[in-house]
Structure 1
Amino acid sequence: MTAWKDVEDAVPEFAARVRKIFAAHKHKTIATLRADGGPRISGIEAEFADGELTFGSMPGARKGADLHRDPRFALHSPSVDPPEGNPAGWAGDAKIAGRAVPAGTVGGDADGEQFRADITEVVVTGLNPEATKLVIESWTPGRGLRRVERE
């Protein structure tokens, strides 16, 4: 099991950038797999706390049923456009893929079920300082951090 703390320990600067991108806005997007194997995209909130990445599902929600049947997910940060006149100032997009592990009920006033992430990949897509190339940085537990630039 690879928890968020493992990412922070392995690549602290990269993990900090990922968290900052995810924190830019409250609502994220999660992809799960339907019973027929097709993709389902849902809005979701996610939290980084106590070394874990967690997210919830309301009672009876299809994404929760999807995750119980097939725990694979892809979580996408809020997406914002590069700043007008300063594309190099764009923080980029972040994505986290893995398997959802049931973690009990959602705390507080909300009903639902909580999941924690068993992380298999973390990706940041952005631009180089000159804003002339797309930069994809990805981390996996087995491979570590990799950077690719594309025209």
Structure 2
Amino acid sequence: MVAWRDIEADAPQFAGRVRELFQARKHKTLATLRADGAPRISGIETQIGEEVTFGSMAASRKLADLERDPRMALHSPSVDPPDDDPGGWVGEAKISGRAVRTEEGFRVDITEVALTYLDGGLVVESWHPGRGHDRRVRD
């Protein structure tokens, strides 16, 4: 099981940027898989402490999705770039993994964390278990 504390220990600056983007606003987006394999997106509130956690209302469709197939992805709140400085976009972050049921809701067994922003091109930073942190710049 990979928890948020593992990413913070391995890549603290990267983890700090991702946390900052996730905490910029209250509502995030959760992607799950429907019974037929089609994607479903839902609004969600998350917490990032030593682990990434979230809850779900009883009998919700996303709960049924996660109980059937725990694969999921979280997307940080979207923030528009300043009108007068499109290059000043702060970026977006994503966390993928498997939802693990707890008494309080779910915790995420993390399989990937990604951070995308502008800095002399499109920067894509990512973290994967066993590979760690990587940074690529696209023109």
2:29 alignment counterpart? 29
Counterpart residue type for residue 115 of structure 1: F
What RMSD in Å do the two structures reach over aligned CA positions?
Answer: 1.0
Give the Cα separation in 2 of the matches to 1:142 and 1:89.
Answer: 32
1:42 alignment counterpart? 42
Structure 1 position 11 matched with structure 2 position 2: no
Which of the numbers 103, 116, 119 marks the counterpart of 2:107? 116
Map Cα deviations across residues 21-60 of structure 1 (whole Å, 9 max, x no partner).
00110000000000111100000000012x0110111011
1:73 alignment counterpart? 72
2:55 alignment counterpart? 56
- Structure 2 counterpart SS, 1:119: strand
Which of the numbers 113, 117, 120 marks the counterpart of 1:126? 117
1:100 alignment counterpart? 99
Answer with 29-38 or 88-97: which moved more. Answer: 88-97
Answer with 27-36 or 79-88: which moved more. Answer: 79-88
TM-score using structure 2 length: 0.96
C-alpha displacement at 1:90, in angstroms? 2.1
2:134 alignment counterpart? 146
Following TM superposition, where does structure 1 have runs of at least 4 consecutive aligned residues deviating by more than 4 angstroms?
none
- Structure 2 counterpart SS, 1:43: strand
Give the Cα separation in 2 of the matches to 1:41 and 1:86.
Answer: 30
Aligned length: 139
